[in-house]
Structures are given as structure tokens and as C-alpha cells.
């Protein structure tokens, strides 16, 4: 039966601005691919990211360019080889997974040989701000088991001390988003030990992370912008102790599963992260998060309004979205 691929841009306002070292956003600008096959419909959401040279228009164009291939029955494995990793492939790949679940009556979890999705201990994010504002934000999260602090190079010590004061019992992830130098990272090691930081995510720019070779950190260092797909791992093994798997980087759940398998084989610690987007993006990511040591899927919690049946934070954990939203 003929498949029809369509794609649209959606804008989801945030409840409060989300700041990192590269800038601030006030809405989640996502692309949603929909594949219809008779009465069955599959959807996948992706967030075009300027850091990787993507725009809304470029991703829409990339998705539309594969209309004929999808109509003729292209499957996920063929897509993996035909299209580069990134937001466009993520949207189509996740739509194909969702369509498979709707058509077969078997959930994605079942197709992967697993049970229903569990709740996960996800980080709650303190976005970059003044130390006073960051402490206030962290205080509102008191009781959360895992907190992630966005910092930059201006005064990371004050920023981190503020977050730790606001959330004294939480495990702590520090994310400079490529804003540090190796010299600053060295200077911060004592503070990392003092504040009992669990993980530092992408401290150096991806194109300068060779400086990490031979460096022994006080805490594991996690590759985010430096790690997209499984083939990236060989050059990262001497630089990082962990990787952050995001479906918008791997180009979908299919590529994310391959990266997860390869990371485990290399004995790397695994984090599952997200862009600030809706629960339609989080649903497939949960299939990686259930196997990750660190989880950061709080993107939808920043929205003014999410999809019905979306993720929610309760009892110290992020509850998975309803199966009706994505993946059966």
C-alpha cells in the first residue's frame, strides 16, 4: 500500500527562557514528519539545530526530498544508509518506527524484545543565569535526585556553588556546552571534587577536544557535540569516559540503538539526552534512556503546553509518555 510522507514546522512556546552558553531560546521550533499508510499513521519529531548547520527550512527540504523513497517502501535500514545523520533523518526514522507499531499492533518496546517503558531518573536542568537566579531555580528542584547545571566560562565557580547550595542532596551534572578551555577545566578539578560533581558534559569545543587526551579528570567527561554516531567512537575513546546519545544527532532511534550497542562494547558510560522539544521527541528516546546511567529528558517540562499524555515528573522520576502518543 502506498505510503504518503508529509512534514510540517511547529512552534511550542516555553514557560521560561532556556539559556546555555551559546544563547537563549523562548520556544521549541520542531519539525514533525508524518507517514500515512492506509488507515495507519506514524509520526516523528526532530529539532533542527543551528550548531550543526541545520535550519527549519533545510530540514523540511531534506524530509520532503525523500517522499518518493518512502512512498515506494524504503525501510529504516535503507534510510540509515541513504540519508545523513541529523534532524531530518530522525523525524523520518521515528515516524517509521511509530508506523510499524500502529500497523503491526506491536509496540516499539515489544519489537525490541523489551517490556513497557519504565519511569527514569531524569535530570532537571538549571539554565544559565546569574548565580542568584540559578540558586533559586535549583531550590525549586530540591528533592530531585539529579540536577544539570548549564554554565559558561565567565564565573563557573559562582554558578556551580549557587546550584549546589540550592540542591545540596542532588547528583550533579555540569554542562559548559563547549565554552571552556583545557586550562579552565584543569582549574575546576578541585571544585568538582568539593561539590561532588558526577559528570561534566562537553567542556571543550568539539574541534579542540584532542586536548583531553592524557588528561585524568576528577569526574567522568561526557562527549555531546563531539559524538553523533557509532563511527565517531574510535577517535573519542582516549578523550572521554562517557557519551551523550541524542536522537537528533544519531538521526533517529535506529542510529541511537547502534551507538548504544557500540558504546557498551567499548565500556563507555552512557547518557541519554535531548533537545528542548515535546514529548513526541522524548517517547523514542526513552528506549535509550532505559539503558543509560545518566538521563536528561526534561525538555518538555520547559514548555507552556505539551502533547496530551506527555511526560511528567512525579515521585522523583520522569514518567514515560502514553503509548498512544508514539510507539504503541
Mean predicted confidence (pLDDT) in 27-45 = 97
Taking alpha carbons only, the member of 102, 104, 45, 114 closest to residue 283 is: 45
| pLDDT tier for residue 1 given thresholds of 50, 70 and 90 | confident
Q: How far apart are CA 191 and CA 290, in angstroms?
A: 31
Catalytic position from the list 25, 140, 148, 150 = 150
Tens of pLDDT, residue by residue over 67-108, are: 999 999 999 999 999 999 999 999 999 999 999 999 999 999
Domains 3-111 and 124-319 share a fold: no
Q: Does residue 196 have an active-site annotation? A: no
Specify the CATH class of 3-111 in words: alpha beta
| Cell 530540591 found at | 142
pLDDT in tens, 162-185: 999 999 999 999 999 999 999 999
143 pLDDT band, cuts 50/70/90, is: confident
Task: Dig out the grid coordinates for 36 from the structure.
Answer: 500515512
Select 124-319's CATH number: 3.40.1790.10, 1.10.3720.10, 3.30.43.10, 3.20.20.120: 3.20.20.120
DSSP one-letter code for 65: T
Between CA 279 and CA 287 the distance in angstroms is 13
Domains of the chain by residue range: 3-111, 124-319
Residue 15: count other Cβ atoms within 10 Å of its Cβ.
11
Mean pLDDT of the chain: 96
What are the residues whose beta carbons fall under 8 Å from the beta carbon of 169, sequence distance 6 or more? 142, 143
CA distance 163 to 326: 35
DSSP string across 117-141: PPPB-B-EEE-S--HHHHHHHHHHT
Percent of all residues in the chain with a pLDDT value above 90, rounded to a whole number: 95
249 carries an active-site annotation: no
Please, which pLDDT band fits residue 314 given cuts at 50, 70 and 90?
confident
Q: Which of 238, 246, 249, 304 is catalytic?
A: 246
CA distance 314 to 305: 17
Question: What average pLDDT does range 111-118 have in this prediction?
Answer: 97
Q: Which pLDDT band holds residue 214 (cuts at 50, 70, 90)?
A: very high
CA distance 11 to 18: 15
Q: What is the pLDDT of residue 310?
A: 97
Amino acid at each position: 500500500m502506498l505510503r504518503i510522507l508529509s512534514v510540517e514546522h511547529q512552534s511550542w512556546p516555553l514557560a521560561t527562557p532556556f539559556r546555555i552558553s551559546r544563547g537563549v531560546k523562548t520556544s521549541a521550533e520542531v519539525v514533525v514528519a508524518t507517514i500515512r499508510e492506509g488507515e495507519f499513521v506514524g509520526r516523528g519529531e526532530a529539532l533542527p539545530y543551528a550548531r550543526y548547520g541545520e535550519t527549519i527550512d533545510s530540514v523540511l527540504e531534506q524530509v520532503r526530498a525523500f517522499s518518493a523513497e518512502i512512498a515506494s517502501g524504503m525501510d529504516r535500514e535503507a534510510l540509515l544508509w541513504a540519508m545523513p545523520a541529523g534532524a531530518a533523518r530522525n523525524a523520518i526514522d521515528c515516524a517509521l518506527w511509530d508506523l510499524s507499531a500502529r500497523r503491526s499492533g506491536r509496540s516499539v518496546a515489544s519489537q525490541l524484545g523489551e517490556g513497557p517503558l519504565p519511569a527514569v531518573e531524569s535530570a532537571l536542568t538549571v539554565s544559565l543565569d546569574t548565580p542568584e537566579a540559578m540558586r533559586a531555580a535549583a531550590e525549586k528542584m530540591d528533592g530531585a535526585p539529579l540536577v544539570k547545571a548549564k554554565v559558561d566560562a565567565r564565573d563557573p565557580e559562582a554558578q556551580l556553588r549557587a546550584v549546589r547550595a540550592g540542591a545540596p542532596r542532588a547528583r550533579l551534572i555540569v554542562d559548559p556546552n563547549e565554552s571552556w578551555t583545557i586550562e579552565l577545566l584543569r582549574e575546576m578539578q578541585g571544585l568538582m571534587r568539593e561539590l561532588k560533581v558526577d559528570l561534566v558534559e562537553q567542556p571543550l569545543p568539539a574541534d579542540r577536544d584532542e586536548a583531553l587526551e592524557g588528561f585524568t579528570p576528577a569526574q567522568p567527561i561526557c562527549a555531546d557535540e563531539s559524538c553523533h554516531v557509532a563511527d565517531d567512537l574510535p577517535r573519542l575513546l582516549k578523550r572521554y569516559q562517557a557519551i551523550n546519545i541524542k536522537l537528533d544527532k544519531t538521526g533517529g532511534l535506529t542510529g541511537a540503538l547502534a551507538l548504544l550497542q557500540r558504546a557498551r562494547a567499548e565500556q563507555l558510560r552512557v547518557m541519554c539526552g535531548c533537545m528542548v522539544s515535546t514529548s513526541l521527541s522524548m517517547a523514542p528516546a526513552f528506549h535509550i534512556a532505559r539503558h543509560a546511567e545518566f538521563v536528561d529528558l526534561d525538555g518538555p517540562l520547559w514548555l507552556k503546553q505539551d502533547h496530551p499524555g506527555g511526560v511528567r515528573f512525579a515521585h522523583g522520576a520522569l514518567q514515560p509518555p502514553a503509548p498512544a502518543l508514539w510507539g504503541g
